[in-house]
Structure 1
Amino acid sequence: MLASLQAYAQPAPQRVLRVAPHADLKTLDPVAASIVITRMHGLMIYETLFAWDANLVPRPQMVESFSTSADGLAWTFTLRPGLKFHDGQPVTSRDVIASLKRWMARDTIGGKLGEYTDRMEAVDDRTFVLRLKRPFALVPFALGSAVGQIPAIMRESDAASDPMRPVTEAIGSGPFRFNRAEWRSGAKVVYDRNADYLPRSEPPDGLAGGRVVKVDRVEWLIMPDPATAAAALQTGEIDIWEQPSQDLIPVVTGNRNIRVERYSNLANQVMLRPNHLYPPFNNPKARLALAYATDQADFLAGGFGDERFWRRCNAYFVCGGPNGTEAGTEAYAKPDLETARRLLRESGYNGERLVLTTSNDIAAIGRMAEVTADALKKVGFNVDVQFADWGTVTTRQQNRGSPDQGGWNLFVTYASGATMQSPMTNIGTNMACERAWAGWPCDAEAERLRGAVVDATDDTQRKNAVEALHRRLAEMQPYRVLGQFDQPYAHRTTISGVLIAPVMLFWNIEKK
């Protein structure tokens, strides 16, 4: 059986898959950064204990078997045999425990699981026990998370480091190895097939199942200019354009050797994120002013053009998803500029300069930032739009300093529907103060209501808990929901096997 799996994991033909990703890779640690490009990198080289299938159902990945005690307070996991890191060390329970502790200190659903966790104990090298203070039915879902900061299993020596400082090593146990020698920031990122990797025997399904690599090398070629990426796809210089600019989709689809398709079942959500640490957005009235001052259609049209790619939606947990209520948002479904001006005055804002940090590296985000400035100026906000490369912007987002000391007041971004569809994984609705995502919203009542979603004992109770939470979020505005859009990818017809998943995956892809 082992020999047959090894043969299956090591395809003979030499293949190089060339991809234009949506951004450059700056941070290597998928536990320290929740941005998509770092998560894509993390899923190349690391694995998680469980993995979500195409329907976001958790399936065992690194785990061979698991069991739960009758009272739901003890979960015992046994790792698959033969797991080893890229440096040859075996993956052990100690690595897993250290990795999970680090992840719980950073991630939205990881932090919630951490609140319920009493301790973790290694039984032997392959078996460990997660002991809870009270039942948490979403344990497999959490341990398979592919959104936010993913629960990547690292070497104990890496995972034991300060969770607030990114790990600079990139040694995982996944199907690809990071080729540091050929990494050129701003130009190229290279991954080689891990010949020692043993995939699961099940068919691939989303992130779950057998992660069989069918190319020998993946190159990310950084192309910030969309026209350059479009031309490269048409000439065959690249095989995949991960996030084509919508205004260039008609150009590439005119080529009979190119197809444009989706790799996600849920639309992406756009958000305007305020910094809750500093005036005026430490006052919920100023945050509500953002909601009343903005028309989603202006942002979506500016960012994504043709209306067939986007829709209005005020659901924090995504329209079309299992938790997609819009309860409590009815009042600002359309702009009300007078109400926005009144709330802004009542917040104590007096025209101080507000820093909106953004980038044109991701063209839609840069365009929506400019729409933001125009919209907010109409109601009295004094917005200073500051452009930088995307890596600098995402680094600055983590800066808790005041805006005049390298911090910020606002930014526009978007996240996958898979990330935002659940109160447990939605990074923006985590209002746990210093443990929240960039912007650091703080509201004990929202966190109590989020806990009620976890504690719900049936679907009806959980639905009611989600609606109550959503109404509170609509009042507190951790961020302004700017609607949602579909992001296709474009590929040469020589490429097949791209899986439905929260981010683009590179195993299972074949190149003719």
Structure 2
Amino acid sequence: MKTPARALALSVLIAVAATGCGAGQNQPSNSNPAQSVTELAPVVVKSGFSGKGGNINVLMSSDFQTLDPGNSNYVQTANVGQLYYRTLTMAKETAGQPPTVVPDLATDTGKVSDDGLSWTFTLKEGVKFEDGTPITSADIKYGVERTFAQDVFTQAPQELNAALDAGGYKGPYKDPSAVLKAVETPDDRTVVFHLKKPFAEFPALASRSNTAPVPKAKDTKLDYTNHPVSSGPYMVESYNRGKSLKLVRNPHWDPATDPNRSALPDTFSFSLSTSQATISQQLLADSDPNAITLDSNGALQTSDSAKLADAKVKDRVASGLLGCNDVLSLNTQKIKDPDVRKAIALALDRQSILVQYGGRRFGELTQSPLNAKMRGYVETELELDPTGKPKLEEAKKLLEGKDYPKTLTYGYANNRDAFKNTGTVVQQNLKALGIDVELVPIPAPN
């Protein structure tokens, strides 16, 4: 039998469609998962593209959190980042198959020592930055070093760093004389990582943006996001924060060293302030065949969902389950009683929340932090209604005689209507329990 706390931890999960979550980001230790939203994975709609040239117009409602690979824990940056930076290895995606780790800047996926505590990578010959300067092992090491400076880069990915035997290293800024002994560069093409303990999947960690090379002389700390030095097929030509970004071909990228990127378009033009309603209308109308969006759910508005049934639109729509969740967390320091948290979970109308994300076309309800398409999924039976209907009377009974907060705050990113609309549903649901919910918009970056 589950303890009340354990039952609660899983009882408040909802899975619906969303994108743009932080890749590999840990949940805060003082939070309880209250809502999980599972993305839908793209599949190939049309295959066989091989012609080069042209421009891709990328319509977005807000700017990137960052373009700096050393401060990147976001799906959007990770996807676009593969256009302008390379890493030692990369996760190569093939339609209908799980991603596989393949060499990128390195000649192979690494060689492990007999004791499993060291991994050695050799850089390919002829790899260069956008200014023609050769990429060396020192540039890889410096890229890793920057990600230890969490006082500067608050979103630096930490999975690779956690595996390294790095001691108390804090990055290259706080104490420039400090040495990261966990990464050695015996020559210009060799990088050696020393681990705390054996980790067989280290080649996958080497695909994280930590290993994107950064020339030390060009590092401008937080301003590096304005023009990260390219090691990939494209480079930044112009970037007007909150408005536009243009990527053009990197003349020093050699396709002979990079079989993983086709680099077919000549340019990518990003509009960073287009309303989601406008994006939705333009994509549905197919007014620009070269337009795409990175916004969640293709920026589709709930009112536009019915248009997906149109044959001309349906042919251009792709979907499928991914493993990225939107999570609504409960503050367990303020809501300490597990029964109160459980009552909140039971009171939520998950059917209505799913509607805010576009309905079942874009996701599904779940009673687990994982969905059936994820590794490690275990079918779970909880007290939530499997169809998503609230259990208000049961929730009220749990609260009888309880001392619980009568006001709560719901913070949401203001760049997507679904987040605000979900808050409105939560607000209405909890009002029935005598709890007032204040909706607080959190401005998107600009």
- Give the alignment's TM-score, normalised by structure 2: 0.69
Q: 2:125 matched to 1:125?
A: no
Q: Does the aligned pair in 1 maintain the 2:346–2:394 contact within 8 Å? A: yes
Structure 2 match to 1:199: 255
Q: 2:243 matched to 1:187?
A: yes
The structure-2 alpha-carbon separation of the partners of 1:48 and 1:370, relative to structure 1 and needing over 3 Å to count, comes to farther
Aligned AA for 1:215?
A: P
Query: Identity, % of aligned pairs?
Result: 23
CA distance in 1, matches of 2:313, 2:246: 25
Which is bigger in relative contact order (C-alpha 8 A, separation at least 6)?
2
Q: Does the aligned pair in 1 maintain the 2:335–2:405 contact within 8 Å? A: no
The structure-2 alpha-carbon separation of the partners of 1:169 and 1:239, relative to structure 1 and needing over 3 Å to count, comes to closer
Aligned AA for 2:137?
A: S
**Structure with larger Rg:** 2
Aligned AA for 1:236?
A: S
Structure 2 match to 1:41: 80
* Structure 1 position 349, deviation (Å): 4.0
CA distance in 2, matches of 1:249, 1:67: 50
CA distance in 2, matches of 1:165, 1:269: 30
Structure 1 match to 2:210: 151
**Which secondary structure does the structure 2 equivalent of 1:41 belong to?**
helix
Q: Kindly provide the CA deviation profile for residues 384-430 of structure 1, in whole angstroms up to 9, marking residues without a partner as x.
A: 112354327xxxxxxxxxxxxxxxxxxxxxxxxxxxxxxxxxxxxxx
Q: Kindly provide the CA deviation profile for residues 319-351 of structure 1, in whole angstroms up to 9, marking residues without a partner as x.
A: 211222255x62446655466568779996432
CA distance in 2, matches of 1:96, 1:85: 12
List gaps (5 residues or longer) in structure 1.
1-10, 203-208, 393-512
**Which secondary structure does the structure 2 equivalent of 1:391 belong to?**
coil
CA distance in 1, matches of 2:236, 2:309: 32
Q: How does 1:56-455 map to 2 (within 5 A)?
A: 56-65=99-108, 66-103=110-147, 106-114=156-164, 119-145=182-208, 150-151=209-210, 153-157=212-216, 167-180=225-238, 183-199=239-255, 209-222=259-272, 224-233=274-283, 234=285, 236-237=287-288, 239-242=290-293, 243-245=298-300, 247=302, 248-251=304-307, 254=310, 256=312, 259-262=315-318, 266=322, 268-274=324-330, 279-280=333-334, 288=342, 290-305=344-359, 307-327=360-380, 330-332=382-384, 335-337=390-392, 349-359=404-414, 361-387=415-441, 389-391=443-445
Aligned AA for 2:378?
A: T
* Structure 1 position 226, deviation (Å): 3.6
List gaps (5 residues or longer) in structure 2.
1-49, 151-155, 168-180
Please state which structure has a larger fraction of its residues in helix. 1
**Which secondary structure does the structure 1 equivalent of 2:282 belong to?**
helix
Structure 1 match to 2:28: none
* Structure 1 position 196, deviation (Å): 1.7
Q: Does the aligned pair in 2 maintain the 1:68–1:75 contact within 8 Å? A: yes
* Structure 1 position 251, deviation (Å): 3.3
CA distance in 1, matches of 2:253, 2:223: 28
CA distance in 1, matches of 2:237, 2:320: 28
The structure-2 alpha-carbon separation of the partners of 1:167 and 1:225, relative to structure 1 and needing over 3 Å to count, comes to closer
**Which secondary structure does the structure 1 equivalent of 2:68 belong to?**
coil
* Structure 1 position 191, deviation (Å): 0.8
* Structure 1 position 381, deviation (Å): 3.5
Q: How does 1:473-484 map to 2 (within 5 A)?
A: none
CA distance in 2, matches of 1:126, 1:188: 36
Aligned length in residues: 364
Aligned AA for 2:162?
A: K
The structure-2 alpha-carbon separation of the partners of 1:136 and 1:371, relative to structure 1 and needing over 3 Å to count, comes to same
Q: Does the aligned pair in 2 maintain the 1:24–1:222 contact within 8 Å? A: yes
The structure-2 alpha-carbon separation of the partners of 1:266 and 1:388, relative to structure 1 and needing over 3 Å to count, comes to closer
Q: Kindly provide the CA deviation profile for residues 220-249 of structure 1, in whole angstroms up to 9, marking residues without a partner as x.
A: 224643442244343533623331416425
Aligned AA for 1:174?
A: G
- Give the alignment's TM-score, normalised by structure 1: 0.61
Q: Does the aligned pair in 1 maintain the 2:68–2:228 contact within 8 Å? A: yes
Structure 2 match to 1:6: none
**Which secondary structure does the structure 2 equivalent of 1:308 belong to?**
coil
**Which secondary structure does the structure 1 equivalent of 2:255 belong to?**
coil
* Structure 1 position 210, deviation (Å): 2.3
* Structure 1 position 47, deviation (Å): 1.4
Structure 2 match to 1:462: none
* Structure 1 position 63, deviation (Å): 0.9
